[in-house]
Amino acid sequence: MESGFWKEKWAKSEIGFHEGKPNAFIKDEFHRMGLDKGQTVFVPLCGKSMDVFWLLSEGYKVVGVELVESAVVDLFKSLGIAPQVIIIDQFKKYTGEHIEIYVGDFFALTSQHIGQVDAIYDRAALVAMPESMRADYANQLSRVTHQASQFLITFVYDQAQVEGPPFSVPKKMISHLYGDTYTIKSIDIKKVPGGLRGCGAQECLWILR
């Protein structure tokens, strides 16, 4: 989607994607990433996700990127962290203890901005991209993180019945995007309670190494 789409969603508080608590998969399965405390997790398109809170509370460092500044302001408020804010290139960078969030366009980010990344946490980021943007998203993610391992959460449902975002991203698409550079393992699948806008849906967890 274009940036205007997301800015309008945040401005109108149409943020049904925001869970308001850490995702069930992160709590139960993130240990599989085998990270040590102090290692860095990159969270693309982070919104004001409470998964960031969970990662920090488990002792990881977080680097993220989010287009909409009000989301990042809310994120720091909910973390109880007063950020230092500086301008770097076309980004505003919000920094606190163990956390750096770039406000701006993910596609303009470089590996120099985010530094060493030990793992990627992708929840509602790949699935936020329409099919026409997915290859660019996947290539940019691989490039800026030097192909760090991924904890990837996707949805699968009948795209003919409901429009995204979130989009349905089945195994075939994940293999197409990442199969050349990653080993892809299915970890768990949960039924989405109530489905997505009335359409039966599954939430799927993948680990890509």
Q: Using CB under 6 A, list all residues that contact ligand SAM.
A: 6, 17-18, 45-47, 49, 65-68, 71, 105-107, 123-125, 128, 165
Q: Among residues 183 and 188, whose Cβ is nearest to ligand SAM?
A: 188
Report whether 178 contacts 147 (CB < 8 A): no
Q: How many residues in the chain?
A: 209
Cβ nearer to ligand SAM, comparing 42 with 178: 42
As measured in angstroms, the least distance from the Cβ of 66 to ligand SAM is: 5
191-205 core/surface letters (b: 16 or more CB in 10 A; e: else): eeeeebeeeebbbbb
Please list, in sequence order, all residues whose beta carbon lies within 8 angstroms of the beta carbon of residue 16, skipping any fewer than 6 positions away: none
Amino acid identity, residue 55? Answer: L
Nearest to ligand SAM by Cβ — which residue? 47
Q: Show Cβ contacts of residue 175 under 8 Å, excluding neighbours closer than 6 positions.
A: 184
Smallest distance, Å, CB 108 to ligand SAM? 8
Q: Please identify, using beta-carbon distances, which residue of 45 and 114 lies nearer to ligand SAM.
A: 45
In the bound state with ligand SAM, the residue whose beta carbon lies nearer, of 72 and 174, is 72
Report the residue number, 69 or 188, with the smaller CB distance to ligand SAM: 69
Q: Are 186 and 206 in contact (CB under 8 A)?
A: yes
Q: Tokens at residue 45, please?
A: 């398109």
**Least separation in angstroms between CB 46 and ligand SAM:** 5
Q: At what angle do helices 69-79 and 50-57 cross, to 10 degrees?
A: 40
- With 0-12 / 13-18 / 19 or more C-beta atoms within 10 angstroms meaning exposed / middle / buried, residue 88 is exposed
Q: How far is the CB of 27 from ligand SAM (least distance, A)?
A: 14
Could you tell me the smallest distance in angstroms from the CB atom of residue 17 to ligand SAM? 4
Cβ-based nearer residue to ligand SAM, 179 or 197: 197
Q: To the nearest whole angstrom, how small is the minimum distance from the Cβ of residue 5 to ligand SAM?
A: 8
Calculate Rg over the CA atoms of the chain.
Answer: 16
